[in-house]
Structure 1
Amino acid sequence: MNSEIIMSPNKITFFRIILSFVILFILCLEDLWNSYLFLILIWFLIIFNEITDVIDGYIARKYNLVSNVGKILDPYADVLQHLTYFAFFFYKGITPYYFFMIFIYRELSVGVVRNLIIQFDIVQQAKFLGKIKSLFYAIATFASLFFYSLNKLRITTLIENFISSILNLDFNFSFIVGMIYAMSAFLTIISLIDYVVIFLYLSKYEK
């Protein structure tokens, strides 16, 4: 099989890693941009980054190109991009502190557990619960980005009042986003437990 095809999923993953740093750089220079141009650029880059996440996994599975390098790099790229977003949204008062810390502790802990599992000559790829967690990370990202965009354009209250009048209830974007983060944090903890159970099972089996 052509070496270029074999490497393509990992090349896309490397590109995602680089793009995450580019996005971080742009976010740090937020005040230097025109608000509308900044929002358009950030929306485009984040959507593009999420799409490439789907594409590299699809190519790897479709053409049976799943590699040990990819098993390590793909979760890293996913964590890097989402923690970059959450750090920015935390700075903007959107990502709750306690959920942000849960995300960080989880990712650090999973990294340790993955390294422990490697001693059994197994490169543990992302589990199903980990993929569901990543999906909610993406949902939390876009919910936060939408909320941030409304705040940036100073129309949050206007939109909330409009939705409240239609639904005949007190609608609050902050509450909705908080609930999404809560679900993400829950799945984050559950997926960590899943990795720990695998390690404990392997440890017991090895003995």
Structure 2
Amino acid sequence: MKTSNKFTLARLVLAPVLFFIYFIPEWTHSCSGSVLSVISVCLMIPLLAFAELTDYYDGSYARRHNEVSDFGKMFDPFADVFLHMSMFTCFVFSGYMPVILYVLIFYREFGQNFLRMVAAKRGTAIAARKGGKLKTVFYVVSCFVALAQEGMYRLDLVKYLGKYGEPVMKYALYSGYGFFAVCALLAYISFADYLKNFGSVLKDSI
């Protein structure tokens, strides 16, 4: 396997690992400030940061070492979706992401993957476009915004805010909703761009 694809593979491996770590405190009924709650946050933040960095390293390495391939063009966005939908699922269960936005993004990503499969069947590899990359940036930011909120609870830091704790967390929650709303908006704008540029492939197949 090419080194660039190994970076991409890391996201596929880390996605279920992060999912498992996220829910361990809940499955074990660990309260805020407990050892498992603290450890889960201390593990998730660097692991998620590393997973997101591999998205930069795989493309950068592939271009620098002439490893760009049609497989990589499809593997990279698939790994992105695999990781982000895993994290979004965690945040939906915790209430940081509205279900309606999750479902809208879910539909968009499956639609995009279907378009990529049809295009691949006809010999066209659809690489990530600028709109898709911008959408991914907001996916990343939204994940860390939601994880920061969960981290505040798990590290039991809210109590140190005193009377400001509840207002601050509500503001953070609604800010997170805003980021996820932008994610959904950019997801469909970029999907429209993909359809505009590659819709003929789908039309010819039909």
Q: TM-score, normalised by structure 2?
A: 0.85
How many matched pairs? 197
Code of the residue aligned with 1:180 in structure 2: it is F
Code of the residue aligned with 2:72 in structure 1: it is G
Aligned counterpart, 1:183: 182
Aligned counterpart, 1:11: 6
Instruction: Please tell me whether the aligned partners of residues 147 and 156 of structure 1 are also in contact (alpha carbons under 8 angstroms).
Output: no
Code of the residue aligned with 2:124 in structure 1: it is I
Aligned counterpart, 2:194: 195
1:1-207 correspondence to structure 2 within 5 Å: 7-31=2-26, 32=28, 34-156=36-158, 158=161, 161=164, 172-202=171-201
Instruction: Please tell me whether the aligned partners of residues 160 and 173 of structure 1 are also in contact (alpha carbons under 8 angstroms).
Output: no
Once residues 14 and 160 of structure 1 are traced to their aligned partners in structure 2, the CA distance between those partners, rounded to angstroms, is 45
Q: CA deviation at 1:204?
A: 7.0
Q: CA deviation at 1:171?
A: 7.2
Structure 1 gap ranges (5+): none
Q: CA deviation at 1:160?
A: 8.7
Code of the residue aligned with 2:92 in structure 1: it is F
Instruction: Please tell me whether the aligned partners of residues 116 and 199 of structure 1 are also in contact (alpha carbons under 8 angstroms).
Output: no
Q: TM-score, normalised by structure 1?
A: 0.85
Cα 1:159–1:131 shift into 2, 3 Å? farther
Instruction: Please tell me whether the aligned partners of residues 71 and 126 of structure 1 are also in contact (alpha carbons under 8 angstroms).
Output: yes
Structure 2 gap ranges (5+): 29-34
Q: CA deviation at 1:65?
A: 1.4
Code of the residue aligned with 1:13 in structure 2: it is T
Cα deviation code 1:12-44 (max 9, x no counterpart): 211221121222222232344622111101112
Instruction: Please tell me whether the aligned partners of residues 161 and 171 of structure 1 are also in contact (alpha carbons under 8 angstroms).
Output: no
Once residues 93 and 202 of structure 2 are traced to their aligned partners in structure 1, the CA distance between those partners, rounded to angstroms, is 40
SS at match of 1:101: helix
Cα deviation code 1:112-144 (max 9, x no counterpart): 111222243111111111111111000000001
Q: CA RMSD in A?
A: 2.6
SS at match of 2:124: coil
Code of the residue aligned with 2:37 in structure 1: it is S
Cα deviation code 1:67-101 (max 9, x no counterpart): 11111111111111111111001101111111111
Q: CA deviation at 1:145?
A: 0.5
The answer to which of 111-120 and 50-59 deviates more is 111-120
